[in-house]
Amino acid sequence: MGIQLLVTGLALGSMYGLVALGYHITWATSRTMNFSQGQAVMAGAVVAYGLHVALGWPFLLTLLGTLVASALFGVVIERLAVRPFFRSASLAWLLATIACGTIAENVAMLTFGKDARAFPSALATRPVLIAGAGVYPQELLVPVVGLALMGGVQFFYHRTFYGKQLKAVAYNPEAAGLMGIHIPRAVMTAYALSAALAGAAGLLLAPLLNVAPTMGTIIGLKAFAVAIIGGLDSAGGILIAGFLYGLIESFVAGYVSTGAREIVGFAVVIAMLVVRPWGLGGARPTRRV
């Protein structure tokens, strides 16, 4: 049982981490967050279903289409729910992104239907045995791809020039603007990138979770918890927190009860906020004189 729980925990945890990274990216770049990240996960899965299952596209094209569609989702959210409130120093973007997420979910219910649909994958049909425990290859693939994507994002941010521009916007948006960086476009890119990550998570999880319009809501919530635990400003902290959260969930569900799973998970969030609000990887805020 332990192996099964470990694999499931790592798989789910890496997806929480991937989606949570999206919260970090938009927070760092614009001090706003996309509270429809969960629905971006669902959008990715729904688009992937449409392309791969309904239209019969080959997998690589489906992946491309999913990433593009998810990025577009992020751009739309940014335009509708964030940009109008970006400079107003209010928290209106919080409610606006939540509202957009709800709208997206309902649109999906109307078009995709309320029923869960299966996303067939050769990697989720026959289990393989690892030390006597059965796991689906898909469950092994997910954390690997998740780590690769997170690594890719880090590379982009620290090694490419455009990534450094986004870092500059995150560090000091006013100074970044003085360099000639187009701030609204940078924020839009951050939103597109973060939604694309969520969409990728949706595609990876679709064979394991089934595709349904409501699949993203709880994932978005848990990913937010992971972002808090890891530290909104720390990509590394979020990565670790994602895996930790997934493992805690899995082992609690396995050894205690599935009912306790959510309780323990969110209790950890509350504990973190009380004890170390800047998260695992965040820096204690210094008082500026």
Partner 1 sequence: MRFGQRLLWVLVGCIAATLSASDLAAQSTPVKIGLAAAMSGGSAASGEAIRRGLLIAIDEVNAKGGVLGGRKLELVVRDDEGNPTKGVTIARELVERERVAAVFGGLHSTVALAQVPVWHELKTPYVGAWAAATNITRNGHAPNYVFRVSGNDDYVDKFLVGYATERLRKAKPALLLENTPWGQSNEAGLTKWFADRGLKTVGVEKFNWNDPDMSPQLLRLRQQGADLVVLVANAPEGAQVVKSKAKTGWEVPVLSHWGISGGRFPELAGELSDGVVFFQTYSFFGSQNERGQYVLRVLREKFNVKGPEEVTAPVGTANAYDGMHLVAMAIEQAKATDGPKVRDALENLQGEYRGLIKTYRRPFTSEQHDALTDQDYLMVVWKGGKIVPVK
Partner 2 sequence: MSLLDVGDLWVRHGQIEVLRGVSLAVGGEEIVAVIGPNGAGKTTLLRTLAGVLRPARGRITFAGREMTGRPSWEVVRAGVALVPEGRGIFADQTVRDNLMLGALSRRSFDALDAVLERFPALRVRLDTVAGALSGGQQQMLALARGLMARPRLLLLDEPSLGLAPKLVRETFDAVRRIREQGVAVLLVEQMGLQALEIADRGYVLERGRIVAEGPARDLASDRRVIAAYLGAPRSRPRDGGGSP
DSSP of 235-255, one letter per residue?
A: HHHHHHHHHHHHHHHHHHHHH
The two tokens of residue 245 are 């959260």
Q: In angstroms, what is the minimal distance from the CB of 235 to partner 2?
A: 13
Q: In angstroms, what is the minimal distance from the CB of 138 to partner 1?
A: 11
Spatial separation of the C-alpha atoms in residues 147 and 196, rounded to whole Å: 15
DSSP of 91-111, one letter per residue?
A: SHHHHHHHHHHHHHHHHHHHH
Report the residue number, 171 or 255, with the smaller CB distance to partner 2: 171
Residue 56 backbone class (left: φ over 0; alpha: ψ -120 to 50; beta: rest): left
* Stretch 46-105 residues interacting with partner 1 (CB under 8 A): none
Spatial separation of the C-alpha atoms in residues 102 and 81, rounded to whole Å: 12
Q: Is 75 in the site for partner 2 (CB under 8 A)?
A: no
Q: Is 178 in the site for partner 2 (CB under 8 A)?
A: yes
Report the residue number, 219 or 238, with the smaller CB distance to partner 2: 238
* Nearest CA-CA partner of 86 in 26, 37, 41: 26
Q: Is 8 in the site for partner 1 (CB under 8 A)?
A: yes
Spatial separation of the C-alpha atoms in residues 268 and 102, rounded to whole Å: 27
Q: Is 31 in the site for partner 2 (CB under 8 A)?
A: no
Report the residue number, 8 or 30, with the smaller CB distance to partner 1: 8
Q: In angstroms, what is the minimal distance from the CB of 243 to partner 1?
A: 17
Q: Is 175 in the site for partner 2 (CB under 8 A)?
A: yes
Spatial separation of the C-alpha atoms in residues 191 and 194, rounded to whole Å: 5
* Stretch 128-157 residues interacting with partner 1 (CB under 8 A): 129, 133-136
Query: By the criterion CB under 8 A, which residues form the site for partner 1?
Result: 1, 4-5, 8, 114-118, 120, 124-125, 127, 129, 133-136, 208-210, 212, 214-215, 218, 253-255, 257-259
